[in-house]
Amino acid sequence: MAQFWERWVSAAFLHAYLKAADHANFLPKSQQELQVLLDSYLLEKMLYSLSCELNSRPDWVEIPLRRILLEIGN
């Protein structure tokens, strides 16, 4: 249920953002370029989360690591 909510909210936000920024110079020109940009941003955020857990709560490192592995598998 939480994964569904996360996906739905993310899709709704992205749709609204792209609609509001339609034809802006800072957006990639193609759908493929946009996907690469989004994927790299999400991976960067997941790696940052992993780094934070390694530095402050190493016992919790499994949480962001599972997320990274789940995304790589998709």
Give me the number of domains the chain comprises.
Answer: 1
Locus of tokens 């609204």: 16
| 1-52 pLDDT tens trace | 888 998 999 999 999 999 999 989 999 989 999 999 999 999 999 999 999 9
**Residue 25 has what pLDDT?**
92
Task: Say if 13 falls within a structural domain.
Answer: no
Task: Say if 17 falls within a structural domain.
Answer: no
Task: Give Cα separations from 26 to 13, 29, 41, 71 (angstroms).
Answer: 17, 9, 15, 26
Task: Say if 12 falls within a structural domain.
Answer: no
Task: Say if 15 falls within a structural domain.
Answer: no
Beta strands per DSSP E along the chain: none
Task: Say if 73 falls within a structural domain.
Answer: yes
